[in-house]
Amino acid sequence: MAQEAVAQEAMTQGKAKAPTIYDVAALAGVSHQTVSRYFKAPGGLKPATLERVEKALAELHYTPNLAARSLRSREHYRVVVVVPEASLYFPARMLNGAAAAAHSAGYRVDVVAIEGTAEARAHQLETLLGGEDIAGILSFVPRPKGSPAARHSQAIPMVVAGEYDNKMRARGSLADGAAARKIVEHLASLGHRNFFHVAGPTAWPSARNRRAVYEETVAELGLVSLGVAVGDWSPASGYAAGRKIAAIKDVTAVFAANDQMAIGVMRALHEHGLAVPDDVSVFGWDDMAESSFLIPTLSSVHMDLEALGARSMSELIARIRGQQPATEALSLAPMELVFRESTARVRA
Amino acid sequence: MAQEAVAQEAMTQGKAKAPTIYDVAALAGVSHQTVSRYFKAPGGLKPATLERVEKALAELHYTPNLAARSLRSREHYRVVVVVPEASLYFPARMLNGAAAAAHSAGYRVDVVAIEGTAEARAHQLETLLGGEDIAGILSFVPRPKGSPAARHSQAIPMVVAGEYDNKMRARGSLADGAAARKIVEHLASLGHRNFFHVAGPTAWPSARNRRAVYEETVAELGLVSLGVAVGDWSPASGYAAGRKIAAIKDVTAVFAANDQMAIGVMRALHEHGLAVPDDVSVFGWDDMAESSFLIPTLSSVHMDLEALGARSMSELIARIRGQQPATEALSLAPMELVFRESTARVRA
DNA sequence: GCCAAGAAAGTGATCGGTAACACCAGTATT
DNA sequence: AATACTGGTGTTACCGATCACTTTCTTGGC
């Protein structure tokens, strides 16, 4: 009776509860299993049956109940995206790209910010991996040195964005580092000889990569690197590096691993009476929206960050499905140098 | 037999499949239902039973299978967070705060970026609400004018962050607008009389609010507003506003609704030979990490954005649970004016 | 010391899918 | 002609929780 009342209420309110495969099967005149089979491999049905199922499906606006599905099949449709604590300095566009890619593949995205001390972070990751209902992990945070959750990681597919940069570099392909090389070459072509690099944290592959290419290229071209400061991507760390640079005096070209640190560098130089680009040229990386409106406007590297995020996610999903990632997913998004006011010919 | 083999394999591999309430019940010597009851209301158990259950729980490291739970109970543990397409200009810290709050309440967070034309966005929202397995929606995007998915929204709890600003303002409390008032007052105290406001998109309550308070305060203090430009939060839109301001000439104080637009304004003024703060003072909002390293450093409003995001999420979760949101969740996070180089006494 | 009533715990059905197997015609093999 | 195989479909059990109901244990009043 209560059942009836509920059903009736649902009817009158038009808030029909979601149709199940049984509803679909009844309408199509087949068994529920046939409907289930349809989703697994539509090709396995007889054309006539297939058509009837599809018609019923469309008529009822059926959407599968993921909870029921994953309960039985033990497959999961939730990927966890780990973003750095300092997501202030983390390009949100990468996250968007990754989320969009996951959604279009039918996965849910859970965003988790990893924060606190190294120990606390390891613990967070541990409990994260413990929640047995996740299909995979996409981390924008570099993998901790000691593999902390080694026994889990066998089970759950995990992609650490940026790690493949290393592979690419090893393969000598046009990876992240290619732009770093072009930056140094460009500055050299403007007459600069004395360089300084503000690197990102060593834990980040992209930071290591940019730094390595910087040092390589400076050496190759017979230039001088007057030092490398390791920052944490923040403007404040760039500022600290900038003070060092100002103290050195001879530096005329600075390459910062991201725009935010470049902003800090420029500020510090300004406070020490050094003009950009008259006294020192500064090159950034990421091409933030603000960079073309700074005073001076900042030369930088423009990347398609959405694409980058989407590709990382594609790689993860391929791995979840046990497929080979599409080669396209492994190649890097195109990047482009943007020359602005902050870099100029060295003063005579 | 096959069963046995599997069990044995699991034993030897140490890859025991996740324990269920039946395992817990067996270990504790009670029925599975008692374990289920434990999670619903631990108080309903006899102290002796409770202790045994808890011991078994701890021993097995039991974690509930959310898929099974939500299949039966029709409750869901996934909230969708909607962020604006232009998330470049959206403070990621709010997202972090919201995600953290949701996680600590046992909910999964799915981040969706709403993009495209108004029509496409409405459609996205529609399908989003169609996916019947979500507990609630937290939108950082203003609600579209016409309630598009009205028939759904009855069912799914939805909180639009920032909307309560309006309520607060209506109540005359110390809301978002209070800082706007202080900004105008401060600039007036520095001798400024001719103001200009660069507002955010009209669809955003916070933008409307800041603008309204700006106009109110200017009128109250007998100052002059030489215009209001409506931007889209981007530096580029600030730049466009800055060109207008430069053309007006008499403006000596600009209040921008966020730091990014303020950066655009400063750039435009610079290009027209107007110095900040010597000729024009500029005040921003949000206190981005970069703001204290710009040239000149930018006066701004510092807010605890994590707290803001967390409170919005708390409100949503309360609504999901049918509770009254904690009053604390409704009050605004404290905000604080930060005075930097970009604002100075008006030139004699 | 007995019985009614409420508290505590147990039993079996159920949610909406998938897995495993049975079944059944039609074809291929021996 | 009997058997094996195969593609297409139906039948039943099962995943791990909660729900509705039943049963057992306490407790209190007389």
- DSSP one-letter string for B159-170: EETTHHHHHHHH
Considering only residues B322 and B149, tell me which one the structure prediction assigns the higher pLDDT. B322
End-to-end CA distance of chain A: 94
Higher-pLDDT residue of B87 and B68 is B68
Q: What is the pLDDT of residue A153?
A: 43
Higher pLDDT, B305 or A193: A193
Model confidence at A8, pLDDT cuts 50, 70, 90, reads: very low
Q: What is the predicted pLDDT for the residue at A12?
A: 36
Q: pLDDT by residue (tens digit) across A270-303?
A: 999 999 999 999 999 999 999 999 999 999 999 8
How close is the nearest chain B Cα to the Cα of A92, in Å? 6
Q: Is the previous residue joined to B144 through a cis bond, with omega within 30 degrees of 0?
A: no
What is the reported pLDDT for B145?
A: 57
The per-residue pLDDT for A173 is 38
Residue B89: its pLDDT value, please?
64
Nucleotide closest to residue B2 (CA–C1') = C20
Q: How far: B111 CA to C19 C1' (Å)?
A: 33
What are B117's two structure tokens? 């034309």
Compute the distance between CA of residue A266 and CA of residue B295 in angstroms, rounded to an integer. 8
Residue A169 in this model has a pLDDT that exceeds 70: no
Q: What span, in angstroms and rounded, lies between the C-alpha atoms of B276 and B270?
A: 8
Reported as a single tens digit per residue, the pLDDT across A132-162 is 678 898 988 887 655 444 444 456 888 888 7
- What was the pLDDT predicted at A122? 73
A152-161, B33-42, B94-103: lowest mean pLDDT where? A152-161
Looking at the predicted structure, is the pLDDT value of residue A220 above 80? Answer: yes
Confidence band, pLDDT 50/70/90 cuts, at residue B170: very low
pLDDT at residue A89 in the model? 64
For residue B111, what is the nearest residue in chain A, using CA coordinates?
Answer: A109
B77 contacts chain A (CB < 8 A)? no
In a 13 Å sphere around the CA of A347, the CA atoms on its Cβ side amount to 11
pLDDT, residue A175, reads: 58
Instruction: State the pLDDT at residue A172.
Output: 40
Which pLDDT does position B14 carry in this prediction?
36
Query: How far apart are alpha carbons A181 and A337 in whole angstroms?
Result: 11
Distance CA B49, CA B56 (A): 11
- How far apart (Å, rounded) are the C-alpha atoms in residues B48 and B265? 69
User: Is the Cβ–Cβ distance between B101 and B317 less than 8 Å?
Assistant: yes
Q: What is the mean pLDDT of residues B107-128?
A: 76
Strand residue runs (E) in chain B? 78-84, 108-114, 136-139, 158-160, 194-199, 224-230, 253-256, 281-283, 300-303, 335-338
Å: B44 CA to D29 C1': 25
Question: Sign of torsion, CA B16 B19 B22 B26?
Answer: positive
Q: What is the mean pLDDT of chain A?
A: 83
| CA nearest to A165, candidates A219, A207, A202, A228 | A207
Whole-number percent of chain B with pLDDT over 70: 81
Give percent of chain B above pLDDT 90: 45
C-alpha radius of gyration, chain A, whole number? 27
For B74, the closest chain A residue by CA position comes to A67
pLDDT at B288 over 50: yes
Contact across the interface for B68 and A67, Cβ inside 8 Å = yes
Give residue B190's pLDDT: 97
Residues of A within 8 A of B239 (CB-CB) are 293
Q: What is the pLDDT of residue A114?
A: 76
- Is B47:B107 a contact under the CB 8 Å cutoff? no
> Strand D positions with any atom < 7 Å from protein CB?
8-12, 14-20
pLDDT for res A180:
93
- Kindly report the average pLDDT of chain B as a whole number: 83
- Cβ(B294)–Cβ(A267) under 8 Å? yes
CB contact under 8 A, B111 and A111: yes
Q: Which of A140-154, A173-187, B43-57 comes out lowest in average pLDDT? A: A140-154
Instruction: Please report the residues numbered 23 through 42 in chain B whose beta carbons come closer than 8 angstroms to any beta carbon of chain A.
Output: none
Q: What is the pLDDT of residues A237-280, one digit of tens each?
A: 999 999 999 999 899 999 999 999 999 999 999 999 999 999 99
Distance from CA of B112 to the nearest CA of A (A): 7
For residue A10, the model assigns a pLDDT of: 38
Q: Is the CB of B68 under 7 A from strand D?
A: yes
Q: What per-residue confidence (pLDDT) applies to B119? A: 73
> Is 90 exceeded by the pLDDT of residue B236?
yes
Give the separation between CA B227 and CA B245, rounded to whole angstroms.
Answer: 8
The reported pLDDT for the residue numbered B109 is 87
Cβ distance A109 to B111 less than 8 Å, yes or no, reads yes
pLDDT exceeds 50 at position B191: yes
Mutation pick from B71, B95, B111 vs chain A, by most beta carbons of A within 10 Å, is: B111
Lowest mean pLDDT among A22-31, B132-141, B168-177: B168-177
Q: CA-CA distance, A246 to A272, in Å (whole number)? A: 7
Residue A126 touches partner B, C-beta closer than 8 Å = no
pLDDT band at A199, cuts 50/70/90? very high
Q: Report residue A251 as tokens.
A: 């530096």
